[in-house]
Structure 1
Amino acid sequence: MASDSRKQPRWIAPQAHDVELPKLKIYNSLTRTKDDFIPLDPAGKTVTWYACGPTVYEDAHLGHAKNYVSTDIIRRIMRDYFGFNVKFVMNTTDIDDKIILQARRQYLLARFKQEHAEEEAVSDTVLAEVKAAFLQYVGKNLPSLSGNTSPETFSEEVHKAYKETLQNQSVTVDNLLLRAHIGTAQLAAEALQAPGTAPEFFAKTDDVLLPYLDALHGASIDSNNHDIYLDLSQKFERRFFEDMTALNVLPPDQLTRVTEYVTQVVLFVGKIVANGFGYATADGSVYFDIDAFEKAGHTYCRLEPWNKNDAALLADGEGSLSKGTSMKRSPNHFALWKASKPGEPAWDSPWGRGRPGWHIECSAMASEVIGKTMDLHSGGVDLRFPHHDNELAQSEAYWSTPDCHVQWANYFIHMGQLRIRGLKMSKSLKNYTTIRSVLSGKDWTSRSLRICFLLMPWQDGIEVTDELMKAVVGWEGKLNNFFLKSLDLSKHLRPDAEGQDVGVADQQLLKSLEKAKADVDAALCDSFNTSAVMRTLSDLVTEANSAEKLANDTIISLARWVTRIVTIFGLDPEGDLSNPERIGWSGLDIPGEAKPYIYPASQLRDKVRTLAIGSAIDHEAIAKLADEATVAASTSTDTSEPYSLVLQQFRTNVKGLGVKKASAKDLLALCDQLRDVHLWNVGIYLEDRNSPLPALVRPLDRSLIEARKEQESVATAKAMAKLELEAKEAEKERELRERAKIDPLVMFKTAEYAEWDDSGIPTVDAKGDVVSKNRRKKLVKEWEKQKKLHDEWLVMQKTA
């Protein structure tokens, strides 16, 4: 590399290799273009990758799922499709301003509750403390309220002070924050007026107590007691990886934690200072000198140069505990080492007791584990500035010399955010949903979430809409159906295809398969364009479904290739790429405890349907079939009982209809009831097929459920429309009957007219004008029509 890096371009491409590399391009945040991927490894095999992990102080939410699942997808493609040996290193931030605040507050709150644990009711002392906490919270977060606000007057005063804001339904950060603060204070106000039991009281007042107790006692916490903070971070680190396992995210090859690398951080900061790019201040902090860095020929803020002087982002990067006075030389200089204030954890350093800055931890740990250069560095898009820009600067300040400026990371990749109504998920805004709560519900599974992220470009943000959810359900349902039929075909050769030669349809589909393989390769080489791959897979399956009388081998070949791709994407936690004959993904089979009962029930149903559809029903044979339907296993457990009951009931019903010599309609209705009600209720569906193929036994999936909802919705709409039509017709009939009661002699005796003839037809209107001939003609027609109605009514009255 040239000695004067200022003469070099901003982007210095890795050296070309003699070995053949995949024609992979990656969208690189450093250049904001798609660059050829050339690993540092001369053999072109090993790829070093450092990923910024979570700050572990609360449960991970869907925004984290988007980041880490997208990262996992790219990692799997690099490893399993392109064949790279990926060394994947990730950190967890187990000490920073958020963790310190959260852990300290939770510790103080637990201590406060413990001090009052023996009190049977909420004491006056506790009420006084919580009232003070309430007033402090309101004063800080709801400044438009008067200083005389009390729990009793809170609701009224909020309505007056924030009426316009509360009526404004626009989704903005300020609006959501205000609503969150009002909600927190409202709960506390309610608790202070009606305390209830201690658990109920604290459940409503914890959020106002936390900052209050910290303001009073936070500074008294022993800075050597690191366990207060590590207990919290270790708990949520464990829960984070449980969530990642549930999402089928591969664990890192190496996990680093900043508290385990404090010595390396101190040495790292020391060298930056020695190189002339950092300085210590009188309070014991150390800051990065951006001015000296740029004067030496380096470029600062390469990822987001337009945000270089963004005060809000700079402040956010320094952390909430760093607000206030600072001794740094320039507002845009950032902390490498923070002097610990009272109540903050601290470690020894040459500059005094302190703790690592946020950005330095990743630079020190990645450099320690990977070295002076790495291939890939990743994280969420919100980390580009200032976090990754600062990482890049301080790492190059550490590794570079006046004669050689080192590029620390060659490719930065940043995952797009998941947003709700246009806003990033945020714990402070309370607009987030945890991964645990999502996966415990019925709307999303690990697979459907991953499909959702695969359908969109990894670097783009995602807004989860009803349309996107429908696309996810449709894509997954299509693949489920295809895999189920392919598996069934591989187990039971289709009679009409056995020994069949490869025909025109097969040749066309095999050509489409080869094209799909080429299209998938091109898409994955194009910066991991998974959305294009998902379209290709969907189109290929659609073509296979629409083709007629395909040879077994054609379908099976296609199914195995599709299986390989979805396995590479991580859509099957049980996926096995070492088995080239595998078809489908997990979840296509019914539960093991169901099989001894459901398969006999399905087989009995198939036979009953065949006999019922025949020209002459053999009722004795049907009754005998019910007796012959035996359980495939003798063991029974609590989990198998629902399935056992389904079989028993169906056998009893079949035998009863056989004895009664029931009609074909009744027999077929019973078979439909088994499929649509009893099996549906235990999560199993029977898909009827043309004879002689038996019904396909399969678990319910979201697409089947949504399809039934749609059918029921359509049926409900039709029923409602019919009822409305009947009601309108009935109303018309009622009005007609009431109208028929009116004698035509008096029907026009209204204020609109002044004179009438002997039949009651108007001759002069109210103004004194003679009714015109045309007008009279129309009135006569109305009169004659009414007379006919009235005469018919009179006849009906006499008959009655």
Structure 2
Amino acid sequence: MTVIKLTNTKTRKKEVFTPIDADNVRMYVCGPTVYDRAHIGNARPVIVFDVLYRLLRHVYGADHVTYVRNFTDVDDKINARAEASGRSIREITDETTQWYLDDMRAVGAMDPNEMPRATEYIPQMIAMIETLIAKDHAYSDGAGHVLFSVNSYEKYGALSGRSVDDMIAGARVEVADNKRDPMDFVLWKPSSEDQPGWDSPWGYGRPGWHIECSAMSYDLLGESFDIHGGGNDLMFPHHENEIAQSCCAHGHEHDGGGFANYWLHNEMLQVEGKKMSKSLGNFFTVRDLLDGHDGMPGVPGEVIRFVFLSTHYRKPMDWTAEKASDAEKTLRKWYAQAEQALDGGEPYTATISALCDDLNTSKALSEVYQLSHADDVVTLRATLQFLGLMGETVPVWAKQHDVDLSSFADKLSSLRKNAMDTKDFSAVDAMKTALLNAGVEVRMSKTGVELEPGPNFDPSKLEGLL
């Protein structure tokens, strides 16, 4: 059996992955709150754990892996969006859920086996809250709120490695009169008539954020499962709270056992070397990149995925236009080779070995580089498909590598030469604009003119330019 090693946040060590049941390997990853388009940072855990899902399926068999990723469809942000737009909550969550699925599929992510919506598991959440109250791990304030008592779980903070005092000092903790301790967190809260809510032993209300993942993972994967993943921004408080709830609900309040055996967290994403922020103008959704934005051409989903895979998941990742351009060039070359082969090959063993070493995707891509220089296009095609960088066929945008733009480059060079003499660059600007509108990437330097088809290249728009 192939050996997989993963860095376990729980132990802070790289460990050999040993599933509880090799016939049913189970993984849970926290999904999105569906109120708007997913930004590109949201795509990182999707791609990271999609690669792990593919690797587990390869090693244990596609029928022996269960991957769950949830949708949070009850949240104050959703309520606010509904109030501001005048649309129903269900209409908004249905639409944004589909947006999310479409965008993640566009970057090569497979659908998980299960994609539960929080609103479909309210009875399970209520039952878990009742258990926690019965075991004195939670309490009602008598006014519709139920809170988890952090002091009742002695191992709280073990995942992030911080004491409760450190967590209070380093986080925005909501201080409320109904809390016994500042770190206590909400399991259930009351709803007004115009807010989504369900009948419960504590009145009409809705769940807090953290309880949903504990209830859904228990229902779909059992008391104990193999892997829990997400971005490192979820480590505290969300994942700490999940552990506390689940361990206390299922009799592991003293030993910290049960729930997930391996915890994986991906690092955050930057854009052009800076933290992504609307105020900096570098905040982009996945759809922005796919369709193009602010005058920039669209980026194919395979290119986005390639850039993400180029950085190890436990390292900060920097999205840049230069990386995307380089990735596109590389993929065009690989696709030109892969389209010569038929399906049916096996992925490159060196690439698989790299992924088995804590999902080293950057090393996996470097092995594909080596493979591309060998005369084995069948394995190359199979490897690209395994990595999610190519589907059953070579993408249409990549088949434009054989378009001859030399005559257009010659004409633009001639116009440029004349303009240098006459100081009138209007004809140069006009042709450059026409080329850009046709999806051609134009590079002019002292050494000459370079033209290359971009992802949105449309040769029909070149008619009449010569």
- Tell me the TM-score normalised to structure 2 length: 0.79
> Which residue pairs with 1:464 in the alignment?
319
**In structure 2, how many angstroms separate the alpha carbons of the residues matched to 1:402 and 1:434?**
40
User: Partner amino acid for 1:715?
Assistant: T
Pair 1:587-2:396 in alignment:
yes
> Which residue pairs with 2:270 in the alignment?
419
**In structure 2, how many angstroms separate the alpha carbons of the residues matched to 1:260 and 1:313?**
34
User: Deviations along 1:351-384, whole A, 9 cap, x unmatched?
Assistant: 2222101000000111111110111111122111
User: Deviations along 1:116-144, whole A, 9 cap, x unmatched?
Assistant: xxxxxxxxxxxxxxxxxxxxxxxxxxxxx
> Which residue pairs with 1:432 in the alignment?
283
After TM superposition, give the deviation of residue 406 of structure 1 in Å. Answer: 3.4
Quickly say closer, same or farther: Cα 1:574–1:428, change in 2 above 3 A: farther
**In structure 2, how many angstroms separate the alpha carbons of the residues matched to 1:481 and 1:357?**
51
**In structure 1, how many angstroms separate the alpha carbons of the residues matched to 2:183 and 2:314?**
28
> Which residue pairs with 1:301 in the alignment?
157
**In structure 2, how many angstroms separate the alpha carbons of the residues matched to 1:245 and 1:522?**
25
Quickly say closer, same or farther: Cα 1:443–1:335, change in 2 above 3 A: same
Pair 1:524-2:360 in alignment:
no
Match of 1:70, SS?
helix
Contact 1:399–1:406 under 8 Å retained in 2 = no
Quickly say closer, same or farther: Cα 1:422–1:347, change in 2 above 3 A: farther
Match of 1:473, SS?
helix
Contact 2:69–2:114 under 8 Å retained in 1 = yes
After TM superposition, give the deviation of residue 518 of structure 1 in Å. Answer: 5.1
Pair 1:479-2:334 in alignment:
yes
**In structure 1, how many angstroms separate the alpha carbons of the residues matched to 2:275 and 2:186?**
26
Match of 1:468, SS?
helix
After TM superposition, give the deviation of residue 105 of structure 1 in Å. Answer: 2.5
Pair 1:366-2:217 in alignment:
yes
Larger radius of gyration: 1
User: Partner amino acid for 1:91?
Assistant: N
Contact 1:81–1:568 under 8 Å retained in 2 = no
> Which residue pairs with 1:292 in the alignment?
152
> Which residue pairs with 1:146 in the alignment?
none
> Which residue pairs with 2:167 in the alignment?
310
Quickly say closer, same or farther: Cα 1:69–1:255, change in 2 above 3 A: same
Contact 2:128–2:249 under 8 Å retained in 1 = yes
User: Deviations along 1:609-654, whole A, 9 cap, x unmatched?
Assistant: xxxxxxxxxxxxxxxxxxxxxxxxxxxxxxxxxxxxxxxxxxxxxx
Pair 1:713-2:445 in alignment:
yes
Contact 1:51–1:90 under 8 Å retained in 2 = yes
User: Partner amino acid for 2:49?
Assistant: T
Match of residue 100, structure 1, among 51, 66, 79: 79
Quickly say closer, same or farther: Cα 1:430–1:287, change in 2 above 3 A: farther
| Corresponding pairs, count | 413
Quick check: which one's helix share is greater? 1
> Which residue pairs with 2:241 in the alignment?
390
**Which structure has more RCO (C-alpha within 8 Å, separation ≥ 6)?**
2
> Which residue pairs with 1:445 in the alignment?
300
**In structure 2, how many angstroms separate the alpha carbons of the residues matched to 1:305 and 1:537?**
37
Contact 1:266–1:349 under 8 Å retained in 2 = yes
> Which residue pairs with 1:24 in the alignment?
4
> Which residue pairs with 1:559 in the alignment?
377
Match of 1:361, SS?
helix
After TM superposition, give the deviation of residue 73 of structure 1 in Å. Answer: 1.8
Pair 1:574-2:392 in alignment:
yes
> Which residue pairs with 2:454 in the alignment?
none
After TM superposition, give the deviation of residue 586 of structure 1 in Å. Answer: 3.7
Match of 2:188, SS?
strand
> Which residue pairs with 2:365 in the alignment?
534
> Which residue pairs with 2:131 in the alignment?
271
Identity between Structure 1 and Structure 2 (%): 32
**In structure 2, how many angstroms separate the alpha carbons of the residues matched to 1:232 and 1:60?**
14
After TM superposition, give the deviation of residue 244 of structure 1 in Å. Answer: 2.0
Match of 2:396, SS?
coil
Contact 2:442–2:449 under 8 Å retained in 1 = no
Q: What residue ranges of structure 2 are gaps of 5+ in the alignment?
A: 412-438, 451-466
> Which residue pairs with 1:254 in the alignment?
114
After TM superposition, give the deviation of residue 565 of structure 1 in Å. Answer: 1.3
**In structure 2, how many angstroms separate the alpha carbons of the residues matched to 1:274 and 1:98?**
31
Contact 1:22–1:82 under 8 Å retained in 2 = no
> Which residue pairs with 1:643 in the alignment?
none
**In structure 2, how many angstroms separate the alpha carbons of the residues matched to 1:106 and 1:430?**
24
> Which residue pairs with 1:203 in the alignment?
none
Contact 2:331–2:398 under 8 Å retained in 1 = no
**In structure 2, how many angstroms separate the alpha carbons of the residues matched to 1:95 and 1:430?**
29
Q: CA RMSD, aligned part only?
A: 3.3
Pair 1:375-2:226 in alignment:
yes
After TM superposition, give the deviation of residue 452 of structure 1 in Å. Answer: 0.6
Q: What are the residue-to-residue correspondences of 1:329-368 with 2, within 5 Å? A: 329-340=180-191, 343-368=194-219
Quickly say closer, same or farther: Cα 1:563–1:255, change in 2 above 3 A: same
**In structure 1, how many angstroms separate the alpha carbons of the residues matched to 2:158 and 2:284?**
33
> Which residue pairs with 1:240 in the alignment?
100
Q: What residue ranges of structure 1 are gaps of 5+ in the alignment?
A: 1-20, 111-227, 317-322, 491-513, 545-554, 576-584, 592-597, 603-671, 681-704, 719-800
